[in-house]
Chains A and B, each alone.
Chain A
Amino acid sequence: MDQRQREQYLREYGIQKSKGKPFFPYAILKDGTMACITLAVIILLAVILGAEIGPKADPTTTSYDPRPEWYFFFLFELLRVIKPPAIVFIATIGIPTVCMVLLILLPFIDRNPERHPARRPVATFTGITVIALMTYLTVSGALAGPPGTISLKTPPQYQAGKLVAAESGCQGCHKIGENGNPGPGPNLTHIGARLPRNAIARTLVNPTAPMPSFSALKRQNPKKFNQLVDFLAQLK
């Protein structure tokens, strides 16, 4: 907007404002109504859905579900889409940071003096696309199955390790056989063929982000840890 357009805006805005109504009591009445609705919705949600709390946190186990609050699903889902470890930081830090910087700079990027959504098609289209994309990522993040069972056939001596793997939430990020999510981690169905046993153990203790480290399991329950590694190493 150049000087003339700015002055014209202020002039027009002055007219519109002089034709308007005072904040008190008109706008404040609407705001108050909305506040009551907000409070009612919050109380309703609290009463109907309650405040469940899961089992106590235990760094050594096992049955967990590494899920964020639902409004972070779209970020988590990005991780599923962008898998190669070398560029994972693009999904984890890169894209969100770039988005925030773009958002902050928006008033300087979009210098079109028009304000009507129909008269600035690029901005409106971009906005709708971003909303659609975030909705899509959130929904597919919500639909991603919870980890829990592994239906793969396993020799009896590795049964214990399979249980540990099933309980440990690996499938939130890995596919093992039929079960689990196809990302952000690689498919583990044939991990034994790809990595030797000690390399698997090393990955579990010292993984690349975003995979959590299972060093606590190794320290506090080495038996379970070894069962887990044995199970993974025989997946060929």
Chain B
Amino acid sequence: MTPPLPRALRPKPPRPGSKPGRNGASANGATGGGDPKALKKARKQAQREAMKQQALEVPIAMLGWLDERTGSTPFLRAFLFRKTPQGTNWYYTLGSATMFAFVNQAVTGVVLAMYYNPSTTQAYGSVRHIINDVFLGELVRGMHKWGSTVMVVLVFLHMGRTFFFGAYKYPRELNWIIGVVLLILTMAMSFTGYLLPFDQRAFWATVVGVNINASGPILGPYLADFLRGGAEFGTTTLSRFYAIHMLVIPGLIAALIGAHLYLVAKLGTSAPPWLKAEKARELAEEEI
């Protein structure tokens, strides 16, 4: 089945004996078919009306086509038109703002990856190249760099909101746990990304960071060796950090955001606790 677009947009010829359009007739008070001007106007009106109907059918038909093959409409409808509890306020936008910051990181990160070269000899030069030569390169790198700060701030604010609203309690415990893992992964993004420009500050801060890992009991030294790709800092270290930074962790974050949002849609967002408290008091009074 093809969407009936071409035929639909063709105006229908007027049928013999069909009534002139409602508005055309009543507006100038003409009686029936006598006045050619009024007739023409009425016909135009009818044509426009028909075209509107046909045009409306296009998206409906397309959705129908999709739905017939995927059965996705009920999910979409349940997601979009699910109710949010009364009292939902601006604090509830912090989670989606975090997600938006993550999307910003993903998009700017892809642009940076087109020019970046993760080898100890080339990395620094390629970042310089992005800043100095690439069209809007400095802006994109700035957006990636400052986007990371914004994302970390938003994650903490969102976590604070869910903490003080008591939103981690029944039945949303699992969503809180997924959230903590997302927090850890976000910090890990920041740690692995810091090395990539390969300037002095990046290099030495990461040396210290990896040494900090190495000081952990039992697993620490192994973790440090894994991060360095050996006992010494080198090209393997850089490409390892790069792979972790642009493939492993973003994949995990995207998947976990999916799970997080699934639970949000399934359980609904919590209502602000002060509403809850009032409600409870009302109920208690009624019971007495």
* Residues in A lying within 8 Å of B, measured CB to CB: 1, 6, 9-10, 12-13, 15-24, 26-28, 30-31, 33-35, 37-39, 41-43, 45-47, 49-51, 53-59, 61, 63-72, 75, 79, 88-89, 92-93, 100, 103-104, 106-108, 110, 113-117, 119-120, 123-124, 127, 131, 169, 208-213
- If the complex has contacts A34-B93, A66-B205, A67-B205, are A54 and B199 also in contact, measured as CB distance less than 8 A? yes
Q: Supply 5 further A-B pairs (C-beta < 8 A) apart from A22-B81, A43-B139.
A: A45-B150, A54-B200, A79-B212, A89-B215, A110-B168
- Minimal beta-carbon separation of A138 from chain B (angstroms): 11
Residues A71 and B168 in contact in the complex (CB < 8 Å), given A54-B201, A65-B200 = no
Tell me whether A23 and B83 are in contact (CB under 8 A). yes
Contact indicator A110/B92 (Cβ below 8 Å): no
Using a Cβ cutoff of 8 Å, how many contacts connect chains A and B?
261
- Which of these binds chain A: B43-51, B55-63, B244-252, B272-280? B272-280
Closest residue to A28 on the B side, CB-wise? B80
When chains A and B are docked, how far (Å) is the Cα of A92 from the Cα of B219? 13
Ranked nearest first, the 8 interchain pairs of A and B with the lowest CB-CB distance are A46-B142, A115-B166, A57-B203, A209-B215, A107-B173, A93-B216, A45-B146, A115-B273
Chain B interface, DSSP helix/strand/loop, else mixed? helix
Smallest distance from the beta carbon of B245 to chain A beta carbons, Å?
13
CA distance A57 to B190 in the complex (A): 19
Q: B200, A55: Cβ atoms under 8 Å?
A: yes
Q: Determine the residue in chain B with the shortest Cβ distance to A134.
A: B156
Choose one: B88, B160, B213; the contact of A127 (CB below 8 Å): B160
In contact, A116 and B277 (Cβ under 8 angstroms):
yes
Task: For the complex formed, measure the closest distance between the CB of B93 and the CB atoms of chain A, giving whole angstroms.
Answer: 4
Evaluate contact between B277 and A46: CB separation under 8 angstroms.
no
What would 21 A/B residue contacts be, using CB atoms closer than 8 Å? A6-B171, A16-B271, A21-B84, A22-B82, A23-B81, A27-B88, A28-B80, A35-B100, A37-B97, A43-B143, A51-B138, A54-B200, A64-B203, A71-B149, A71-B153, A93-B216, A107-B169, A107-B170, A115-B169, A117-B166, A209-B211
